Amino acid sequence: MFKIRSLVTALALISSISVASAWEALPTEAPEPADNKATEAKIELGKMLYHDPRLSSTGTVSCSSCHNTMLGGEDNRPNSMGVNGQTGGRSAPTVWNAAFNAVQFWDGRAASLEDQAAGPVTNPIEMGMKSWDDVVARLESIEGYQKAFDAAFGSVLISKDNATKAIAAYERTLITPNSPYDKYVSGDSSALTAQQVRGMEKMAELGCTGCHIGPAFNGPGMFQKFPINDNAFFAAKYNFKKDQGRAEVTKKQEDAHLWKVPTLRNIALTAPYFHNGSVKTLDEAVKVMAKLQLDKTLTKEEIADIVAFLNGLTGEFPQQKMPVLPGTPGSTFN
């Protein structure tokens, strides 16, 4: 796993990257693990599970409640609301193009979409199920799921492993290609405005693309310290350092305030910003990032240019059919 632990390393990396070659269009297919090849039946099952609130203790919260596939892949809240109105300290990352993250969660504690999918279901403040055994028992009580698992996995029984594989296979279809930026780097020079091109070049010049690299602008697999620079004003206003980030998982002091580099794809649709959702607008997020990560104070015009470019990272959202979730004729678990 690629880790950057200091600004010095980050800057060294920037200088080694050819800026021109760093601009890549989004692939239309995501890489998939050898042990979870997608099939139509698996994707369809995953879509059902992803949208089924019965995977939560109260029957009210599905994956899509916080990572909304009808919106920008999250909930536009500072932090999500799980079962019984509970909230946590972090802002839901978008599910769109999450397939291009080498690690998942803000602290990168899941190595795959499959691993990630297992977490929220049994998190007491998210979906609140007591155990995956309970989830499996509930799914087994729904005849339609028996059939859907059978279609997706053959004779293998309903299990946590297969449920998370199906969800991950579905999530790998959640790709938003053909943003103005993608069209631009694929040769359509009219796809971005002059202002957007200025913003794009400014991002490279400032060093934003030192971390936000790759087709999803997420420096795949890269961790980065945030904030790098101390700033009393922003510290008081946004309280970024309350959360220890990756150190909360590894318990190592050297991982304090390390975070997965998040994608910039569709960032215009995922306000509010940062791991704690404390920054309400994209303008302010750009200003904060430049100051805290690069020690640069941007002009209003520079911020406007960069924001214009970031708006050009909003892609095309695929038309999806709503799943028809299988019922439990004549009874319910509630």
The catalytic site residues sit at 126
Retrieve residue 2's tokens: 């690629």
Q: How far apart are CA 38 and CA 305, in angstroms?
A: 40
* Of positions 45, 46, 57, 78, contacts a copy of itself by CB under 8 A: 78
Q: Where are the beta strands (DSSP E) in 64-171?
A: none
Q: How far apart are CA 208 and CA 194, in angstroms?
A: 19
Cα 126 vs. chain centroid, distance in angstroms? Answer: 16
Provide the b/e sequence for 242-274 (b: ≥16 CB within 10 Å).
ebbbbbeebeeeebebbbbbbbbbbbbbbbbbb
* Of positions 11, 25, 32, 53, contacts a copy of itself by CB under 8 A: 53
Place of tokens 């199920």: 129
CA dihedral 15, 24, 39, 95 (to 10 degrees): 70
Closer residue to a copy of itself, CB minimum distance, 150 or 283? 283
In the stretch 299-328, what mask flags binding to a copy of itself with x, by CB under 8 A?
A: --------x---x--x--x-xxxxxxx-xx
* Of positions 60, 159, 195, 231, contacts a copy of itself by CB under 8 A: 60
Closer residue to a copy of itself, CB minimum distance, 223 or 273? 273
List C-alpha distances in Å: 2 to 10, 101, 181, 223. Answer: 12, 12, 26, 7
50 binds a copy of itself (CB under 8 A): no
Q: Which helix (H) or strand (E) holds 117?
A: helix 113-122
Cis upstream peptide for 272 (omega within 30°):
yes
> 3-class DSSP state for residue 272?
coil
Of the listed pieces 28-36, 53-61, 95-103, 238-246, which binds a copy of itself according to CB under 8 A?
A: 53-61
* Of positions 41, 43, 57, 69, contacts a copy of itself by CB under 8 A: 69
262 binds a copy of itself (CB under 8 A): no
* Of positions 8, 20, 21, 85, contacts a copy of itself by CB under 8 A: 85
* Of positions 83, 163, 222, 306, contacts a copy of itself by CB under 8 A: 83
Q: How far is the CB of 327 from a copy of itself (least distance, A)?
A: 4
Q: What is the DSSP letter of 319?
A: P
* Of positions 2, 143, 280, 295, contacts a copy of itself by CB under 8 A: 280
Cis upstream peptide for 227 (omega within 30°):
yes
Q: Using CB under 8 A, count the residues that bind a copy of itself.
A: 49
Closer residue to a copy of itself, CB minimum distance, 25 or 71? 71
List C-alpha distances in Å: 234 to 190, 241, 298, 301. Answer: 37, 10, 15, 21
Residue 217 CB: number of other CB atoms within 10 A?
A: 27
Of the listed pieces 9-17, 34-42, 69-77, 237-245, which binds a copy of itself according to CB under 8 A?
A: 69-77
332 binds a copy of itself (CB under 8 A): yes
Q: How far apart are CA 38 and CA 302, in angstroms?
A: 43
Closer residue to a copy of itself, CB minimum distance, 89 or 323? 323
* Of positions 19, 23, 58, 173, contacts a copy of itself by CB under 8 A: 58
Closer residue to a copy of itself, CB minimum distance, 4 or 26? 26
Among residue numbers 177 through 206, which ones bind a copy of itself (CB under 8 A)? none
- Give the interface with a copy of itself as residue ranges (CB under 8 A): 51-54, 58-60, 65, 68-72, 75-78, 81, 83-86, 268-269, 271-272, 280-283, 307, 311, 314, 317, 319-325, 327-334
